[in-house]
Amino acid sequence: MSRAAPRSHLAILAVLVATLIPAALLSFWRDQRRDERQEDALEQDIAVLRSLPNLRGGVRRVDLLTELCRSGRGGQWPAKRVSAAAALNGRAAELRPYCAETTLSSGCADVERALAAFLEGEDRLVSARGGSSADAARGKRDEILDALSSLGDAASDELEWRLARARGDSLKSELVRLLVELASSVLGVLLLYVFVLRPIALIDEAGGRWHLGEDWSASVSPAIAELRSLASRFSDMARRLNAQFEREKELNEFKTSLVSAVSHEFGNALSIINNAVFLLAERLSAEQRVEAEPLFEIVRSNVEVLSGEVLNVLSHGRVEAGRLDAAVEAADVKGLLRTSARRMRPLCLRKKLRLTLELPENVPALRADPAILSLAISNLLSNAIKYTPEKGSVAAGLRSEPGRPGVYRFFVRDTGIGLSEEDKTRILRGHYRTEQGRRMTPKGFGIGLSLTRRIVEAHGSRLDVDSRLGVGSEFSFALTEWGGGRVDARKAARPGASS
């Protein structure tokens, strides 16, 4: 990771912090100020409501002491009455701070006026001791009690209003907080999309479009530093892969041309050997020719084997170059098998193998390319003969597929060394021979079965392997009927002549 990578993290974090923290602090400050104001106002309303019962009690106490003073009883009552009146004035004075800045100020003023009139009336009642003064004092008492009741009702209404407002403010605060969090979430998602998700999608899209040999590029700006570095590394990797691909392609072309040139020269040498053997046989007398015929047959059979290997190498080069195509026609596969088997008989005689053909009498023309199919047949027969011990048996033929009308299965079966489960897959990949096979037959390139598999696949079929180690093997593939008609068996000899 580059040193610039953490900068992208810090940048995103700084943006989020710069957005969220001021908004959160502002919302917290507003809520705190509102809560403090509401708390003070509620305390004032509660203080007013809490003081009203004391005021009512003080009014009744003063009125009772006034009656006691009027009854002619002396002693302590006048002093207690004065003290009670002073206490009542003190409690009334305590209401002033709570009522000064609220809607209760007018009610508090009414209470103060009614209280002053009540106390004045009570003083007159004590001094005058008259009936009219008593009625007036009772009127002032009722007036102060009514004022206190009105103030209590107003304070209760004020308290209920403030509580309802507090609930509304709380809902507004929650709504504002929700909007702030929603806005911050949207901003965070937007930043995540712009700097992370969108660059990743662009890198993925560019990777999906890229093919070997092409330049890789993806514009991922703006993006976090890690993704820009990743895109740059992908671009560098694509350049290295393309350079390696070009080197491999040049090397493969050189290898193909070299193999083709060597194979052609090798084929020409084999043709010269074959012609020399023919000319040598022509110069011998009949008796000498009969005597030398086994030697000539050995030379001819080995020349044919080497010619087959040369053809395998050339065909394998065509496969690697992607030029192996099946020119399908109505082919006499039965005739192709007979021709290949006739060429393989000298090899069977050398190892004392029994070669049998299992061919139904009425085999229709099958869809195949005779030229390349004959090579596949020869490869399968050659392998079966190579890896079957002396006095073993090799069988080849055609059989109809059960439940599949118009489909025939070509097979080559032997009593050879067999294959393990692991080797069944590896031998079809090419350039591989089993350890037991290398000990038994050191010659060969290990490409015959791989080439055969490609030929079979070019016919739209599949090469199946059924083998048991130490028991034998069967290689087979299916071919479909051409669709009616038969072919001249002489066509089968044409591809064999070139092998």
User: What's the pLDDT at 410?
Assistant: 94
Q: What is the CATH number of domain 5-199?
A: 1.20.120
Most confident of 146-155, 187-196, 422-431: 187-196
**Residue 171: what residue type?**
L
- 121-180 pLDDT, tens digit each: 777 777 765 555 667 767 777 787 787 787 777 778 777 777 787 777 778 777 877 887
- Which class does domain 325-497 fall in? alpha beta
> Which own/partner contact pairs does 249-252 have at CB distance under 8 Å and 24+ positions apart?
252/320
User: What's the pLDDT at 29?
Assistant: 73
Most confident of 22-26, 122-126, 210-214, 375-379: 375-379
Question: Which 3 state secondary structure label does DSSP give 413?
Answer: strand
CB 340 within 8 A of CB 374: yes
Domain boundaries, the chain: 5-199, 240-323, 325-497
Mean pLDDT, range 14-42, rounded to an integer:
68
Q: Are strands 393-400 and 366-368 parallel, antiparallel or unpaired?
A: unpaired
Q: Are strands 393-400 and 354-358 parallel, antiparallel or unpaired?
A: parallel
What single DSSP character describes residue 445? -
Tokens 């399908």 correspond to 328
pLDDT interval class at 484 (50, 70, 90): very low
User: What's the pLDDT at 7?
Assistant: 54
Mean pLDDT, range 246-263, rounded to an integer:
71
d(CA 359, CA 340): 14
User: What's the pLDDT at 442?
Assistant: 46
**Which residue has better confidence, 274 or 388?**
388
Degrees (nearest 5) of the Cα angle 320, 473, 303? 55
The pLDDT of residue 438 is above 70:
no
- 10-21 pLDDT, tens digit each: 555 566 666 666
d(CA 378, CA 373): 9
Q: Other CB atoms closer than 10 Å to residue 172's CB: what's the count?
A: 13
